[in-house]
Amino acid sequence: MNHHIQQSITCLTGILLIAGCNTEPSRSITAVSWGGSYGHAVNEGVNIPFTGETGINVKVEDYNGGLAQIRAQVEIGMIHWDIVDLEFADAVRGCDEGLLEPIDISILPPGPDGTPAIEDFMDGTLTRCGIGKLYGSGVYAYNKESISGPKPATMADFFDLVTFPGRRGMRRVPQVNLEWALIADGVPLDQVYAVLDTPDGVDRAFAKLETIKDEVIWWEAGAQPPQMLADKEVVMTTAYNGRIFNAQVLENQPFVIVWDGQVLDVGQVGIVAGTPRLKEALEYLAFATRAESMARIGSRISYSPARKSGMPLVTTHLTTGIDMAPHMPASPANMQRVLHYNAAWWVDHQDEINERFSAWLVQ
């Protein structure tokens, strides 16, 4: 067979799915996040500009948190997720289990003024396998149309079925719910984890949850709480602050956030261990954790940047032009009675508490 014909056949059969011979395949990664209004903000604020700058396509998948899907991929060695938005405790735990790639902080870009990344990130937002991205908070909210007379103003009010009768919405996990139960039961904010660190404290938290259990509708996805409020399926519900914000400003829903007892946490971004697309994932990570990228998200949904230099970049809401400061969880006015989520405590106690919570749910 003619040498040139043979070469052509080899080329065609070997790379038929690529658009022609001698063409480098298009690079892509899969980025996994929380979906919904937050997912839209990430897509517009990070994914689209990232592809525009690097040529790397971003495939998006949604999930509800946890490590089960990451663990399954790593254990069988078939990695199809590359970069994942993680709750802080899951980032720490996933790193300990070898499910996430360690990250060298030196690869991260400096702040806009040249401040090295290590100095620009807020204290406590960096871990061995996770890079802080945004501060969000667990709050509760109510629909003004569902409550006549006095309005809820404290965490204790959420648990008060006499003054505020009706259904409650809560996420179907023990995390944060136990903390709120203790706050509602009168435990000072600076003592919540010390109390929770004792068997009596855990019993006390479950006992408080028991007082409203029959009225609770459990949710799993972040889109559910605003929908339950809009449908008046519940009188009030715990929620991610950004989901309520979007319903308030984009859908004109008459929702009110109660910031008392908000649990402030920093979401991290991590890379799945063993991804064959590590180079692209690291490029995405560096881009997504720029101050400007965090601010593009924060201008679309009310989550505060994890970089000091990112905070001043968030001024008004991109779509409506409203001032973002009153809606940001890390704003001084909303930090009057805040509990900082203790991820280390949950990493140490998660298995036993999850087991007890699951058993309690079906009692």
DSSP string, 101-154: ----GGGSPPPTT---HHHHBPTT-B-SS-EEEEEEEEEEEEEGGG--SSPP-S
**E strand spans, 213-343:** 216-219, 236-240, 255-271, 304-305, 338-340
Is CATH 3.40.50.800 the right assignment for the domain spanning 10-135+266-335? no
Task: Report d(CA 124, CA 131) in Å as an integer.
Answer: 10
Tokens 């409650």 sit at which residue? 168
H/E element, 66: none
Note whether 46 and 133 are within 8 A (CB): no
Which residues partner with 236 through β-bridges?
142, 168
Task: Report d(CA 341, CA 344) in Å as an integer.
Answer: 9
- Burial annotation 307-317 (CB, 10 A radius, 16+ → b, else e): bebbbebbeeb
Question: Cα dihedral sign for 271, 272, 277, 278?
Answer: positive
* Tens digit of pLDDT at every position of the chain (363 positions): 444 444 443 443 343 333 334 445 679 999 999 998 899 999 999 999 999 999 999 999 999 899 999 999 999 999 999 999 999 999 999 999 999 999 999 999 999 999 999 999 999 999 999 999 999 999 999 999 999 999 999 999 999 999 999 999 999 999 999 999 999 999 999 999 999 999 999 999 999 999 999 999 999 989 999 999 999 999 999 999 999 999 999 999 999 999 999 999 999 999 999 999 999 999 999 999 999 999 999 999 999 999 999 999 999 999 999 999 999 998 888 989 999 999 999 989 999 999 999 999 999
- What pLDDT does residue 4 have? 46
User: ∠ at Cα 44 (38, 45), nearest 5°?
Assistant: 80
User: ∠ at Cα 285 (281, 287), nearest 5°?
Assistant: 115
Q: By three-state DSSP, how is residue 251 classified?
A: coil
Q: Tell me which architecture the domain covering 137-264+340-361 has in CATH.
A: 3-Layer(aba) Sandwich (3.40)
- What pLDDT does residue 332 have? 86
Tokens of 191: 């003592």
* Residue 363 CB contacts under 8 Å (≥ 6 apart), including other chains: none
**E strand spans, 255-310:** 255-271, 304-305
Give span(s): CATH 3.40.190.10, the chain: 10-135+266-335, 137-264+340-361
Tokens 């009310």 sit at which residue? 302
* Residue 199 CB contacts under 8 Å (≥ 6 apart), including other chains: none
DSSP 256: E
Note whether 110 and 120 are within 8 A (CB): yes
